[in-house]
Structure 1
Amino acid sequence: MGARSLRRRRDLRSGGDIYEIKLNDEFLMSSLFNASDIALARLGLAALTGTSFDVVVGGLGLGYTAQAVLEHAQVGSLLVVDALAEVIEWHQQGLLPLGAELTSDTRCRLVLGDFFAGAASEAGFDADHPGRRYHAILVDIDHSPKNVLHPSHAALYTLDGLTHLAAHLRPGGAFALCSNDPPDDEFQQALGEVFATSQTHIVAFDNLQKDGEVTNTV
């Protein structure tokens, strides 16, 4: 999909470090803005009942969604699927702040793979356990269902794509998606046709570079 780069820069206002991942010249994520990553995990897991949840996260990034998942004692296992080998390596090498925490938690596995191919297949996301199903599937990869990083991703956000993804959920399971855009009526309709219930949550946070509040959608 292009050249990957990781950069660390000093915030002159706070004196702390800011970590950013870019794909070519496009910013994928920044440690300045992680509210929606964390909300994705908390809202997705809040929809579940019971104990000992098996969770899969599509997209590792800086690791905030995975960390928020692991904060829940009810989580028995977490599989994080990312298509960029460098991102996984940066965590394993300790180049990112959450790397040591994620790689040392025995519940968590970081695997290199195509989340979208896994969602569309019968085998699913875990090559070691084909056909495995999960209590929660949480996705934070594309900017939104209409603004994808690669054309091959678009199929997931259709009625057929969501139907295939839902087959990897256990009964009563939850699918949650993070989007930079406002709620999408067409996507909401597809969700309503595939899942028993569907909810939209607006996550607001301060955009320090633009001096104002911005919102994402879960």
Structure 2
Amino acid sequence: MKKTIICSISMKENIDQVVYSSKDKSLPVSERKVRYPICAFLEKTMESNDELEVIILVKKDKKDYYKRNIAFFKEELEAVNKEIGAAIEYKIIDSEFEEHQTVHEQLLKDIVAQISDDSHIYVDITYGPKDLPIILFTTLGFAEKFLNCTVENIVYGQADFENGRAVNTRICDMVPLYCLSSITNTIECTDSDKARSMLNLLLTF
């Protein structure tokens, strides 16, 4: 199967390796300690005939921590794939850590350019600045509408922190949140009260 994996890389110096838990049967995870929860998920879902196009999203920090974090991500994914043997191709998209419209627009264009038509998309939004999920949701909407892609999972690694260490780590699927953004686009109404009623009705389905 053709799969597109999109993962935002951490800008932090140190990332804890932890075991992620999951209460969602549709989101299985391995017991491997990882920095990037998408790797624990892929270990349970990848198959040998998969063709993975891995898009690595990088925000350049001033101390270049991102360079080591890219290496960590690749090491984890390769370790997961060692017994599976799927084909993996890496593509790195980097951008400056700046909140300018031109940076956002260029990043959106760069990601769309790297997504193959008809692919199944899996995303890890655990790390990265606040603008990335917004840009990614827009990208995914475009890919579904115009590239005949399917958004399968949007992974987020949730954690509590004690003395600076990640604890109670669990994996969450943010696809329902992504779907919320598309719900409002389906409403066509000029009356505000009626629009609220329509939204409430849609959310009950």
Category of TM-score, reference length = shorter chain = 0.3 to 0.5
Structure showing the higher helix proportion among its residues? 2
TM-score (norm 2): 0.42
Larger Rg: 2
